[in-house]
Amino acid sequence: MNIDNEVPPTIESLDMLTLQLFSSLEDEARNNSEKRLAYFFPTFSSDDSQELIQSPSIQKSNPITVYHSVKTPSDTISFLFWFLNNTNSELSLFFAVQRIKFVTLKFVSSFSEEQKIDLANTILTTLSGFKPGTPRNLVSELSQSLAYTIISGYLCSDVMADFIDKIILQVNKDSPNKIVFLQVLNVIIEELNREIPGNSIPKKERIVSKFKDSKLKDVFSVSLNALKETINNQGLDSVQGY
């Protein structure tokens, strides 16, 4: 594949690749789509068939290139958010949030503080644009990415810890998508209690302890108030689906 002659992908072409990846009945079509998507959105993982060769001293018999604009995991995440914010395809949306979560979990601990803050802001902005009818799996995948990002910088930066307050503020707003941010808080609590594979988040026990001391009471309070408000305004039946 000659990256010098590679035409920048369009949303339509990427949508076609995700459609083939998830819907094609032919193995060859699915495999080709997977390779092309990995070319544009590499995960920098040893399990990735499109792994980037990061050092010229590493010799491989058949080196595989990746899209020339993507040089780091952070680049992959940025490109995925571009895709996420411009596609209308449900399959593409699902692909993008899954890939964002995978790369975030694998590499967020190695990001600089500035990169973590930028990523958390990007995820929060994206979640703010979600409506109550947004598929729960999209909210959940992005919420997990936000949780990993916040947790990874929780001990080192008050700015990262303040993202919990930003989420609580969204829940307290008189907004239709407050249920989205209640789900975000729920996912963050789940991830704090979950054993994250690969020890990707150092000092997890200290992070959980600090969160319980400083934020858990506020999270519980805002969640309880939102639940009471929903019951009072809509009746018990309206919240049983959440």
If one compares 179 and 162, the residue with the highest pLDDT of the two is 162
Tell me whether residue 78 is in a domain.
Answer: no
Average pLDDT, the chain: 82
Tell me whether residue 172 is in a domain.
Answer: yes
Q: What pLDDT does residue 177 have?
A: 79
Tell me whether residue 232 is in a domain.
Answer: yes
State yes or no: pLDDT of 89 exceeds 90. Answer: yes
Tell me whether residue 153 is in a domain.
Answer: yes
Q: What pLDDT does residue 94 have?
A: 97
Amino acid at 107: F
- Helix and strand numbers (H, E) in the chain are 10, 0
Ordered alpha helix ranges (H), 24-157 = 27-40, 73-86, 90-107, 113-128, 136-152
Tell me whether residue 16 is in a domain.
Answer: no
Helix (H, G, I), strand (E, B) or coil at 188: helix
Do 53 and 60 touch, CB atoms closer than 8 A? Answer: yes
State yes or no: pLDDT of 201 exceeds 70. Answer: no
Question: Model-level pTM?
Answer: 0.81
Tell me whether residue 36 is in a domain.
Answer: no
Q: What pLDDT does residue 206 have?
A: 79
Tell me whether residue 95 is in a domain.
Answer: no
pLDDT tens column, 219-228: 888 888 877 8
Work out how many domains the chain is built from and give that number. 1
Q: What pLDDT does residue 203 have?
A: 67
Share of the chain above pLDDT 90, in %: 45
State yes or no: pLDDT of 49 exceeds 90. Answer: no
Share of the chain above pLDDT 70, in %: 81
| Boundaries of domain holding 197 | 111-239
Q: What pLDDT does residue 195 have?
A: 67
